[in-house]
Amino acid sequence: MNTDIRIYIAGHKGMVGSAIWRALSVKGYTNLIGISSKELDLRDQNSVKNFFEKHKPHVVIDAAARVGGILANNDFPYQFIMENMQIQNNLIDAALKSNVEKFIFLGSSCIYPKLAAQPLKEEYLLTGTLEPTNEWYAIAKITGVKTCQAIRKQFNKDYVSLMPTNLYGTHDNFDLNTSHVLPAMIRKFHEAKLNDNSPVTLWGSGTPMREFLFVDDMAEAVVFALENQLPDYLYNIGTGEDLTIKELAETIQKIVGHQGIIVWDDSKPDGTPRKLMDVSKMQELGWKHKVNLEAGIQKTYNWFIENEGKYKEVKL
């Protein structure tokens, strides 16, 4: 892959997109294209079409999405299904019509059925019902996967979908109204520590099991997909290792230094009992994660402390 090819990273200012930008820059790619949501509304088909006609990217990496945790998915189901489909449909269609040969679509492990056998294999897609708490987002992402597969089948273009497990890391979202479980815990334990180690209340029973991948490892997977022609249309990206939410909370509590108690509110939903990815397909091709969970949480917490001021106005 020539390092001067034009690579458009949609969502380049988000946690995932910015990590991909950094990883590509380190590898020597010099012609990266990024544009903010204020300058280009990816939900607007004509605007996206005009953008592609002007910049003519050779490669498109779709890291743009409306994302959030259980609360956000539950409160805004229409926005989660409609806006995500608008974003990805506009990008994929414009890429096809602009003769973009390589498109990397990023999704989520929530595309798999709620009660699918563990670990989750790519072949389990569309074999059962989804987890109700995030089905709107999942359905949108499934349509993106199948659209890229259709283009791959009909037009023989290198359009591939990467499905990461739960991502976290620097530049994460720590807003308690919209964040995912790991950054929300970091913020809760940190603020409770500053408040005389007050108790921390967490949703659910703490028994569900989850897998977490540091965002820089995800970025390396994207670079790997860019620099290699992957033989299949769908690949899981993760560590292949999981732990209970209770174990996650205790790990974060230890790293943050909070010495109070944890209260589990089991009146709140747990979500899917377990979500562990089978990552053997990607590993057999040569990619594997590098950052272990404790090291990744420490890096994320350090970044949160350095950028804590922007979250001060949102109260617990």
What residues does each domain of the chain span? 7-310
Question: Domain 7-310: which CATH class?
Answer: alpha beta
Whether the predicted pLDDT of 233 surpasses 50: yes
Instruction: Say if residue 180 carries a ligand binding annotation.
Output: yes
State the residue for tokens 């390589």: 102
User: Is there a catalytic annotation at residue 235?
Assistant: no
Which stretches within 64-134 are classed as H helix? 70-75, 77-97
Write down the catalytic residue from 137, 233, 301, 311: 137
Whether the predicted pLDDT of 161 surpasses 60: yes
Stretch 157-166: mean pLDDT, rounded? 97
* Sequence letter at residue 218: M
Instruction: Say if residue 17 carries a ligand binding annotation.
Output: yes
User: pLDDT tens-digit profile of 84-121?
Assistant: 999 999 999 999 999 999 999 999 998 999 889 999 99
Instruction: Say if residue 164 carries a ligand binding annotation.
Output: yes
The structure tokens listed for 127 are 């074999």
Residue 4 Cα distances to 7, 58, 63, 222, angstroms? 9, 10, 21, 17
The structure tokens listed for 158 are 């290198």
Residue 185 Cα distances to 174, 175, 252, angstroms? 9, 11, 7
* pLDDT at residue 85, rounded to an integer: 97
Instruction: Say if residue 166 carries a ligand binding annotation.
Output: yes
